[in-house]
Amino acid sequence: MKYGFFDDNALEYVITTPKTPLPWINYLGNREFFSLISNTCGGYTFYKDAKLLRLTRYRYNNVPYDNNGKYFFIKDGDTIWNPGWQPVKTALDSYECRHGLGYSTFTSSKDDVEAKVLTFVPMEDNCEVSKVTLINKKNSDASLTLFSYVEWCLWNADDDMKNFQRNLSTGEVEVTDGGSVIYHKTEYRERRNHYAIYGVNTAVDGFDTSRDAFLGAYNGPDSPDAVKEGKCTGSVASGWSPIAAHQINVNLKPGESKTFIFTLGYIENPEDDKWEAPSVVNKKPAIAMLNKFKTEEAVDASLEELKNYWKELLSIYHVSSSNDKVDRMVNIWNQYQCMVTFNMSRSASYYESGIGRGMGFRDSCQDLLGFVHLIPDRARQRIIDIASTQFQDGSAYHQYQPLTKKGNSDIGSGFNDDPLWLIAGTSAYIRETGDLSILKEMVPFDNDMSVAKTLMDHLKCSFNFTATHTGPHGLPLIGRADWNDCLNLNCFSEHPGESFQTFGPSEGPVAESVFIAGMFVKYGEEYAQLAELLGDDAEAARAREEVKKVYDATCTAGWDGDWFVRAYDANSNKVGSKECEEGQIFIEPQGFCVLAGIGVEEGLAEKALKSVEEKLDTKYGVMILQPAYTKYHLELGEVSSYPPGYKENGGIFCHNNPWVSIAETVLGHGNRAFEIYKKTCPAYIEEISDVHCTEPYVYSQMVAGRDAKFFGQGKNSWLTGTAAWTFVNISQYILGVYPTHNGLSINPCVPEDFGDFNITRKYRGATYNISVKQSGAQKGVSKLLVNGKEVEGNVIPYEEGVKEYTVEAVIG
């Protein structure tokens, strides 16, 4: 069952009922000011950091779900309704929500009154703009009252929901222009130089800034007293819970419409220019912001700018094939999700509360892989930021806070895959741009500039960290965990409340990871190539020698007969082996070792992927392990704590499905690679939205596995490495346009019935118009013509100054 449809021409997903199985959300904002908005107008807003600078409150884990947002109420006689249906939930006569790229619209009607709401974050301003239009479609005059409502968060979202003894007394506001503009200035007096505003471009008939006054004690936003009365109270909040609400009386003749523009903004003042009078905040920048979006023309132009921005970004990689689902994912939604994961890492979604995780070291490095072609300059800065949280021994903070860019010491370091992901991200950036200068940038360790070294030295530290932390079998030590946060082989937690990852010794001299071995082979080689590009052949040779050792260990101690072992635990027992009672085969080493090229010549790769197909495959994707753990294994940790079929215990953890798909392309299996791609691809499972539950336009972290009661159900949508890895898979491996250091390589691996396709790729200042002809084969370019001339091999030689390349490739 579907709850909407794709409108590819408009670059939108259209939701036709507010009652989706879960809130289906969108992200507004591209740089520093962000909002989450659901199909029922729920969501929240923050500036730069979802924990430290949260503008509006959201109630996670509440009933009904998706509670709190930026709401508009329409009172028409005794009927009160919302364009997004929530929070009042009055049945609507019509409803449509369109999630576009950086904006959302709602068009709803009730009793012949139509409301249109457009909400977006402009390109250059720290605000969210909502254009609200009311249209009278009755035969008679309509006398309506429009109310707006937002609830302020007292900035630190973590403290805001814990520290009531203080927070119920700190709230402060100012109100100007008869109530049209409301300033939220809690803590501005002392240590902050920022405030928030909510203003509307018209005179108002009332306002409220105290939540209790607007809602009434014991009421929620589903039944605000002020709206029921048809009148705000003019409250000026002092402590308790400040809000911003406007009341506008709207009289409309038949056929008449009126439009209002609401601006929710974040304003920062210079330290020495905070006040315009004692206790009165300096409003100059706020007034400028409000003036900027005073007219419909200005708002429409700003939306147009945003749309053009996205069109431009999406023209960098564009495919046109005979397969509309592939085209819509590649050309629109997958790249859009890559931007969102780049911006958010794993911090703020409807499932990540925005107060816990900040930016993940491994997560953000992987997010770069799907983003770097879009805005290389931002990727460059991100690489430097991430590398700045590395320690001198090559290990790294597992997470850092986006506002301060400092590592989070409560989690610390010790996740032994982290260092290698820095090589992955940097290599992708350089292959995209050719910009070797980044390797010479001076980058601090743990944010301490006095011990800064070049980025290349950082990569060397990463490489050496793995090379020097190997265990009894010559495989890399796992530390607290590798990519799989739940494989806690040094932890031994027996009591609830202990962190699985940081409890116990956490890092031990024995437990080893075959997954990190796969990473070391792949990214060790990429490191060696960077060394060569800098002219350091000796370092490249040294790196390849180290890689060879781990390669050999993986093919011996890391091989179980029919598939790769997952790990060795702290007692040197195998994890992910036939010998195990449960958890005999894991997906990660099969996918990653094969995509790294391990065992391809030896025939191990072929066997490993066959085993994946036999043991882990389902109709909804490839499960992370089998058989799922039914008992808690103290020596394995959190992985065995989840009920079978969920999360890391046998769920379909979407992130590593593209690894297996890429691995299949390495072996030339286009049919199978594409079959795996399709199983988790949102556009392909749109029809089963009632089973899948999460948004049909983006990937989720997990789909419940075969052992779970709700097999096929998605969870934790949006913020997942699946976005980047899937884009890498489909764009670079299946469709086969891969950036190398020497130029674009064309080497598709597609199903035999895929048909011809064309790709436009902008790369290093040139446009490549690539047409691929298929003659029944899955892989193997038999002919490559570049600007009419035949070229040997797969790589289009890069010629300085050439702006257009016409490329014709024949598979088979």
Residues taking part in catalysis? 485
Q: To the nearest whole angstrom, how small is the minimum distance from the Cβ of residue 414 to ligand GLC?
A: 13
Q: Within 337-376, which residues bind ligand GLC (CB under 6 A)?
A: 346, 360, 362-363
The count of other CB atoms within 10 Å of the CB of residue 775 is 10
Cβ 498 to ligand GLC shortest distance, Å: 13
| Beta carbon nearer to ligand GLC, 382 or 647 | 647
Position among 648, 686, 695, 707 found at the interface with ligand GLC (CB under 6 A): 648
Q: Please report whether residue 566 would count as binding ligand GLC according to CB under 6 A.
A: no
Using CB under 6 A as the binding rule, whether residue 638 contacts ligand GLC is answered as: yes
Q: How far is the CB of 575 from ligand GLC (least distance, A)?
A: 15
Query: Crossing angle for the helix pair 376-387 and 455-468, nearest 10 degrees?
Result: 50
Q: Is 418 in the site for ligand GLC (CB under 6 A)?
A: no
In angstroms, give the least distance from the CB of 263 to ligand GLC. Answer: 34
Residue given tokens 């749309």 in the structure block: 307
Q: What's the min distance (Å) between Cβ of 356 and ligand GLC?
A: 8
Q: Compare residues 388 and 484 and give the one whose CB is closer to ligand GLC.
A: 484
Residue with tokens 């069109």: 311
CB closer to ligand GLC, 207 vs 586: 586
615 vs 647, beta carbon nearer ligand GLC: 647
With beta carbons less than 8 A apart as the criterion, state whether 735 and 759 touch. yes
Closest to ligand GLC by CB, 11 or 489: 489
Strand pairing class (766-774; 804-811): parallel
Residue 701 binds ligand GLC (CB under 6 A): yes
Cα separations in angstroms, 168 against 150, 193, 211: 17, 21, 12
The residues, ordered by sequence, that sit 6+ positions from 83 with a Cβ below 8 Å of its Cβ are: 41, 72, 74, 106, 107, 108, 115, 116, 117, 132
Which run of H or of E encompasses 521? helix 514-533
How many residues interact with ligand GLC (rule CB under 6 A)? 13
Minimum distance from CB of 210 to ligand GLC (Å)?
38
Positions 705 through 744 that interact with ligand GLC (CB under 6 A): 720
CB 449 within 8 A of CB 483: no
Residue number, 247 or 401, with CB nearest to ligand GLC? 401
588 binds ligand GLC (CB under 6 A): no
| Residue given tokens 């905070």 in the structure block | 274
Is 408 or 701 the residue whose CB approaches ligand GLC more closely? Answer: 701
Query: What is the rounded distance in angstroms from the CA atom of residue 70 to the CA atom of residue 478?
Result: 45
In whole angstroms, how close is the CB of 661 to ligand GLC at the nearest point? 18
Counting Cα atoms < 13 Å in the Cβ hemisphere of 45 gives 26
With CB atoms as reference, the residue minimizing the distance to ligand GLC is 485
Contact 608, 562 (CB under 8 A): yes
Identify the DSSP state of 84: T
Cα distances (Å, whole numbers) of residue 385 to 40, 397, 405, 724: 36, 12, 7, 19
Three-state SS for 86? Answer: coil
Q: Which two tokens stand for residue 318?
A: 């564009």
Whether the Cβ atoms of residue 708 and residue 651 lie closer than 8 Å to each other: yes
By the 8 A CB rule, do 180 and 232 touch? Answer: no
Contact 179, 246 (CB under 8 A): yes
| Nearer residue to ligand GLC within complex by CB, 76 or 485 | 485
- Give backbone dihedrals phi and psi of 175, rounded to 5 degrees, phi first: -130, 130
The whole-angstrom separation of Cα 606 and Cα 228 is 68
Least distance to ligand GLC, CB of residue 728, Å = 16
Beta carbon of residue 756, minimum distance to ligand GLC (angstroms, whole number): 37
Q: Is 13 helix (H, G, I), strand (E, B) or coil?
A: strand
**Rounded Cα gap, residues 353 and 735, in angstroms:** 36
Q: Measuring CA to CA, how many Å separate 697 from each of 15, 482, 647, 656, 660?
A: 11, 29, 21, 19, 22
Q: In angstroms, what is the minimal distance from the CB of 782 to ligand GLC?
A: 39
The nearer residue to ligand GLC, 156 or 720, going by C-beta atoms, is: 720
Q: Decide: 134 and 145 in contact? Cβ < 8 Å.
A: no
Sites for ligand GLC among residues 474-503 (CB under 6 A)? 483-486
User: CA dist 9 to 84, 298, 311, 314, Å?
Assistant: 24, 24, 11, 13
Burial class (CB in 10 A: 0-12, 13-18, 19+), 566: buried
Q: Is 647 in the site for ligand GLC (CB under 6 A)?
A: yes
Provide the minimum distance between the beta carbon of 235 and ligand GLC in the complex, in angstroms, as a whole number.
41
List contacts with ligand GLC (CB under 6 A).
346, 360, 362-363, 483-486, 638, 647-648, 701, 720
